[in-house]
Amino acid sequence: MVRSRIAFRSSRQTEFLDLTGRLQQAVEEAGLLNGRVHLQSLHTTLGLAVNENEPLLLADLEAVLRRLVPSEATYLHDDFSLRSGVPVDEPANGHAHARNLLLQPSLTLLVEEGEVLVGQWQSVFAVELDGPRSRELAIQLEGEFARGRLDRTRRLIELELERQLHADPDPVGEPMRRLVEAGGKRFRPFLVLLTARLGPDYDPLRAATLAAAVELIHAATLVHDDYVDESPQRRGRPTVAAAEGPERAIAVGDYYFAKATRLIAELGNADVTATIAGAMEAICRAQIDDLDLRGRYPGAEEDYLRVVRGKTAALIAAACVAGAQLSGAPAEVVERVRRYGSSVGIAFQMTDDVVDFSEGSGKPMGQDIRERVLSLPLIYASESEALGAEIQQLLAGPLLDPDLRRVVDLVARSGALDRVNRKATSLVQVAVGELDGVDLDGVKTPLEEIAKSVVDRSA
């Protein structure tokens, strides 16, 4: 259950204040998908009502209150000589208390698929009877929240990955199991399972197979990347190449590229197969570009973005698109989630570059610098008028440990990390905007939550 308050101020003695938008905002902020909103007035002269927000009708309702409970009538409550302990500033408001009998002190509203359930012409009103005043309503939300759905989705992903890896021969299965069991955000399979809900042909088992296949592709790229970059650690553990040798690492990566391709082909959806195949092609092209551009280190922002669109964003966007295609989602929805995934993917890599300058990255500090991997923080820091020249001079040298530590310090001092974070946050806002104005069948809130989590992490 989530507890909150809605505060506002009325401007007239009697006033109908439409709170429908505020309630919807509270539902979205809490991530409530399906359940109830309980709303209660905390004042004896503030009622609640559900009706149509039409000015003439509201004037009629106000007239009814005046006619049934006239303010000029006599109310014992207003004879302060009959009462004890009356505050000095107590108003004569017996009529307001009496009118509140015609309204409700509390309301319960249903929430379905992240939306407050009201009719086409219905609005939820707080009815001020003794204003103008500052007012407050208590609100409680209960039911199925996005976090609970995401937790269940994560368990489904882990079970499907375990099932797929259990059947594989030990020479390839054991190294991949170690990598998968080391953790990870499961970002891409989450997106598959969410977008697979967007079409009429949603099948959770088929979606889980696709999600696992996409995660295996991602894991295979990590195995190959670690070999190419000669990385000693991944997620705080020895990489497959470091533990098993380069030949085994190549074989493990190749095996899981092939297995994932087979799993996707067996789903029998040509659009899904083409989407994932296109993403794999983009990954390979971007890897070649990445290696070529390391000779021009630290590189330019446009080069960086070209590589990131292929190496990172392509598979994230494909995860969104393939999930939607698998369930037969409309073309407009497929295109919206593609653009969403592309923006989120670029923002994800930008944030990942920032995390690489922290101790929580799961790999040695400054490893990407030593390996001349394209990095937006380094590109921005190299442009600094005050510090850029020294950074470029250090990067042109052999980058011994003291040089590496100096580069990391200069990047932090240059303001580049904040600049990259701002850029990533802007991209997340663009991604979330792609979800507006289209029917997303209740998955808008978790998709927004995932997008925002991209720029709110430390590992």
CATH number at residue 210: 1.10.600.10
96 and 198 in a common domain: no
Q: How many domains does the chain have?
A: 2
211 and 177 in a common domain: yes
In a domain, 30, yes or no: yes
Per the structure, the complete domain to which residue 65 belongs is given by 2-145
Residue 148 reports pLDDT greater than 70: no
Mean pLDDT, residues 152-178 taken together: 90
At 438, is the pLDDT very low, low, confident or very high (cuts 50, 70, 90)?
confident
In percent, the amount of the chain with pLDDT more than 70 equals 96
Find out whether 347 and 431 touch, Cβ atoms under 8 Å. Answer: yes
In a domain, 414, yes or no: yes
- Residue that wins the pLDDT comparison between 69 and 458: 69
- DSSP-based three-state secondary structure for 385: coil
109 and 19 in a common domain: yes
In a domain, 442, yes or no: yes
In a domain, 263, yes or no: yes
Mean pLDDT, residues 304-321 taken together: 96
pLDDT at 351: 92
Give the model confidence (pLDDT) of 370-392 as tens digits. 777 788 999 999 999 899 899 88
In a domain, 156, yes or no: no
Find out whether 415 and 384 touch, Cβ atoms under 8 Å. Answer: yes
Give the DSSP letter of residue 104: B
- DSSP-based three-state secondary structure for 32: strand
254 and 288 in a common domain: yes
Mean pLDDT, residues 399-410 taken together: 88
In a domain, 152, yes or no: no
83 and 198 in a common domain: no
304 and 217 in a common domain: yes
343 and 227 in a common domain: yes
Mean pLDDT, residues 291-301 taken together: 80
Mean pLDDT, residues 131-150 taken together: 86
269 and 345 in a common domain: yes
- DSSP-based three-state secondary structure for 196: coil
User: What residue spans of 230-330 are helical by DSSP H?
Assistant: 240-244, 246-266, 270-293, 301-308, 314-326
- Give the CATH number, domain containing residue 138: 2.60.120.460
In a domain, 16, yes or no: yes
178 and 127 in a common domain: no
Instruction: Report the alpha-carbon distance of residue 278 to residue 272 in Å, rounded.
Output: 10
Give the model confidence (pLDDT) of 420-435 as tens digits. 999 999 999 999 999 9
Model pTM score? 0.69
Give the model confidence (pLDDT) of 3-19 as tens digits. 888 999 999 999 999 99
pLDDT at 150: 63
In percent, the amount of the chain with pLDDT more than 90 equals 67
Torsion on CA atoms 269, 275, 277, 283, rounded to nearest 10: -160
Mean pLDDT, residues 26-41 taken together: 89
430 and 292 in a common domain: yes
Give the model confidence (pLDDT) of 326-344 as tens digits. 999 999 999 999 999 999 9
Instruction: Report the alpha-carbon distance of residue 380 to residue 195 in Å, rounded.
Output: 35
The neighbour count for residue 63, using CB atoms within 10 Å, is 11
179 and 129 in a common domain: no
In a domain, 160, yes or no: no
At 55, is the pLDDT very low, low, confident or very high (cuts 50, 70, 90)?
very high
If we measure between CA atoms, which residue out of 117, 32, 156, 159 comes closest to residue 446?
Answer: 32
How many residues comprise the chain?
459
**135: which 2 tokens?**
């007012």
- Residue that wins the pLDDT comparison between 81 and 236: 81
85 and 185 in a common domain: no
